Amino acid sequence: MLQVIIFNFVYIRIIRKTRVNFKNTISLITIIFLCFTFGSCKKSKEGKITRTWEKIDVTTQTPVFVEYWKFESDGTVILYNYSPGGSILEVDRGTWHIRQKIDKAFVALEFAGHGQYNKEWRIHKLTKKIMIIILIESGQTTMEFQTASIEI
């Protein structure tokens, strides 16, 4: 929607009120390109993050439980624990949203019970199979995820 408003404003200002020349045409094309490029980055990341992720625990060889994070399209994130041989248990619920800068993207997390995650994490890598988020605050904390093999 924002791109349409900007396009209409630029069209009216440049094309209708001035003579069309090469410089104005290039300016218009550049503005439209930038709007669509940076406007679609956030949507692309939201589409990739919206799924169930399995947190990769790189600190222990035999974890007591597996953490699953489910990012839903309405901005809800649900944290589950699964103990081998047990059942899947919802342990916390919160919200998430993506903030896009020109060269970086961040995911802000807000949980009710897991305050250690309530920060804005930089998205280091995000594909449909892998997510790596980094928190740089008094040292660096990295969380790595892979697409969950189960659906919750």
Phi/psi for 13 (5° steps) reads: -70, -45
* pLDDT tens profile 11-64: 665 555 555 566 666 665 666 555 444 444 556 888 899 999 999 987 777 778
Handedness of CA 47, 74, 82, 57 (dihedral sign): positive
Cβ neighbourhood burial of 137 (10 Å; 0-12, 13-18, 19+): exposed
Is pTM beyond 0.75 here?
A: no
On whether residue 152 sits in a domain, the answer given is: no
pLDDT at res. 55: 95
State which amino acid sits at residue 6.
I
Handedness of CA 54, 59, 63, 64 (dihedral sign): negative
In 3D space, the residue among 65, 45, 52, 69 whose CA is nearest the CA of residue 117 turns out to be: 69
* Cβ–Cβ under 8 Å, residues 111 and 92: yes
Are residue 56 and residue 38 in the same domain, yes or no?
no
* CA of residue 100 relative to chain centroid, distance: 8
Are residue 36 and residue 75 in the same domain, yes or no?
no
Name the residue range of residue 75's domain.
Answer: 50-147
Are residue 29 and residue 59 in the same domain, yes or no?
no
Are residue 65 and residue 88 in the same domain, yes or no?
yes
- Return the structure tokens found at 67: 């953490």
* pLDDT tens profile 51-102: 999 999 877 777 788 999 999 999 999 999 998 788 899 999 999 999 999 8
Are residue 41 and residue 54 in the same domain, yes or no?
no
Q: Give the C-alpha separation, 51 to 71, whole Å.
A: 5
On whether residue 66 sits in a domain, the answer given is: yes
